[in-house]
Amino acid sequence: MQKYKCNTCGYVYDPEVGDPDSGIKPGTAFEDIPDDWVCPVCGVSKSDFEPEN
């Protein structure tokens, strides 16, 4: 699964890890995260993330 990086702070969302503190279970693809999810580090919206190369 594709990792996504926050354009603002550099946080990388890894689908194998998820974001348990925000209720996102490991194994959740970025595309399947709710649209109202925000970066757990800086708080920007999901739209501010890009696929990591």
Annotated binding residues for Fe cation:
6, 9, 39, 42
CA atoms of 52 and 11, how far apart (whole Å)? 11
Residues that constitute the known binding site:
6, 9, 39, 42
Distance of alpha carbon 26 from alpha carbon 33, whole angstroms? 11
Residue 24 neighbours by CB distance under 10 Å: 19
